[in-house]
Amino acid sequence: MKGMKQADRLHVSNEDVLDEVERLERAIATYRELGEKPLQGSLSTLGQMHSNFVARFERLAESIDDENLNLLETLDFISDSAAEIAEGFIQVDTDLTRAMDGQE
């Protein structure tokens, strides 16, 4: 980094930031697709069996499903926040470019 200009060290590529937000959103969509209620299928299969274990497992699975839904809500919040940050970077970049060009 020695010899680099301050502007070069602070450079943020708007395109890269938007690409990362998009990548995050795709990852969340994939996770949601695979895991919104990951144990639901197992519960219907186990429901045919009769045992104390099955009842305990069902309670555990329901708890995991509920926690997974909470996790998905958190991931959505993070994704929305990342998109807002990206938009903020772009706005700051636009404003600074205009200011440096004397357009402000």
pLDDT in tens, 42-96: 666 766 666 777 778 778 888 888 888 889 999 999 999 999 999 998 888 888 8
Q: Provide the domain limits for residue 54.
A: 24-94
pLDDT at 20 over 70: yes
User: What gap in Å lies between CA 76 and CA 82, rounded to an integer?
Assistant: 10
| Confidence (pLDDT) at 83 | 92
**Which range among 3-7, 12-16, 43-47, 100-104 has the greatest average pLDDT?**
12-16
Q: Does a structural domain hold residue 5?
A: no
Count the domains in the chain: 1
Q: Does a structural domain hold residue 7?
A: no
Look at residues 30, 45, 38 and name the one whose alpha carbon lies nearest to residue 60. 38
Look at residues 77, 94, 104 and name the one whose alpha carbon lies nearest to residue 14. 94
Q: Does a structural domain hold residue 39?
A: yes
Q: Does a structural domain hold residue 54?
A: yes
User: What gap in Å lies between CA 55 and CA 51, rounded to an integer?
Assistant: 7
